[in-house]
Amino acid sequence: MEECQLPLIDLRGLGSRDERERAACAAAICRASSEWGFFQVVNHGINPGLVRKMRSEQSRLFRLPFDDKVSGGLLNNSYRWGTPTATCPKQLSWSEAFHVPLSKVSHKDCYVFIREVMVEFAAAMAELAGTLAGVLVENLGHSRGDFEDICQESSCFLRLNRYPACPTSPEVFGLVPHTDSDFLTILSQDEVGGLQLMKDSRWVAVKPNQDALIVNIGDLFQAWSNDIYKSVEHKVMANAKMERYSIAYFLCPSYETSIGSCREPSKYRKFTFGEYRSQIQEQVKKYGYKIGLPSFRL
C-alpha cells in the first residue's frame, strides 16, 4: 500500500497582516478540497494540551466495562460497537465509538469525568470548523454569515473512536469504506496508522501526523459546491497489534435544512439533511452499504 502525505496547510496564514499570505493560505485550503477532498492543518489554534487531555480521557472512557458502555446511559446512550446491520465480513467495522450530539455534551447524562474536557474540546473544534467552512464558502462568492446560520453548534456531532487490535487485520476494516454525510469533518488521531483514502481511483494510506489535524470534505459540501469540492471515499484498516484512537468533529446542519447547489445549473436536486440521512439508512438496510450523493444527482 502506497503511503501518501496529505497537503499540509499552516493556518497562521489566515491571520497574517499580509493580504497575499492570507489569500495564499485560503487558496491552498480550497485547492486541497477540490483536488484531494482531504488535507492537514497545523497551527490551527487548538491547544495541544487540550488535545492530549481529551485523548487521555477518551482512553479512560473506553476502558470502562462493556456493560457500562452499552447500558449505563453514558454520553446520552451514544455508544456503538461493530456494525449491527452487517451481513458479511466486508460490511463489518472492527471498532467501538461514542457518537455524541453537541447539544448533549453538557447534559447531565454526559458522563461526569469527561464532560468538562469534551465541552472545551468541542467548542475549539467548532470554531476551527467555522473558520475553514467560511474560507470555502467565500471562495465560491457567498457570505460566511449565511453559512453560519445553516450550521449551528447544536446540530453538530463529536465521535470518539477506538479501533481494537485485530489478529486478522489484513482482512478486517476498522471502519468500512464510506464518505462522510456532513459538510466537513475534522479528525484528531494518534500515531497508529490505518486511515486510507481513494486517490486517482486507488487506495492510498495516510501517513499519521500527531501534530496536525485532518480535514475532509463531506457529501453536503460537495452537493452545495456543485462538485467543486470533493467528498472522497475513505476507510480505516484494523491493526494486528496496536489499538487506535481518534476523535472526529462533524459539521452538520439541522435535519430541516434544505441543501441546494450554490450555482446553476445544479447537478443535484434539492434535499433536506433529514431526507439525506433517512435515505442513507434505508440504503444500508437494503444493500449493506451507503450509496449517498449519486441518488440525488439530476
Count of CB atoms situated within 10 Å of the CB of 21: 15
pLDDT for residue 96: 97
Q: What's the pTM value of the predicted model, to 2 decimals?
A: 0.96
**Separation of alpha carbons 127 and 251, rounded Å:** 11
- Please report, as a single letter, which amino acid is at residue 177: P
Which residue, 236, 238, 14, 205, is CA-closest to 127?
Answer: 14
pLDDT for residue 210: 85
CB 232 within 8 A of CB 198: yes
pLDDT for residue 274: 96
- Say what angle helices 112-139 and 19-35 make with each other, to 10 degrees: 100
Beta bridge partners of 173: 93, 237
First to last CA, the chain: 36
pLDDT for residue 148: 80
pLDDT for residue 109: 65
Burial class (CB in 10 A: 0-12, 13-18, 19+), 249: buried
**Separation of alpha carbons 61 and 51, rounded Å:** 15
Q: Which residues of the chain have pLDDT under 70?
A: 72, 109, 169
pLDDT digit string, tens, across residues 154-210: 899 999 999 999 987 677 999 999 999 999 999 999 999 899 999 999 999 999 998
pLDDT for residue 66: 92
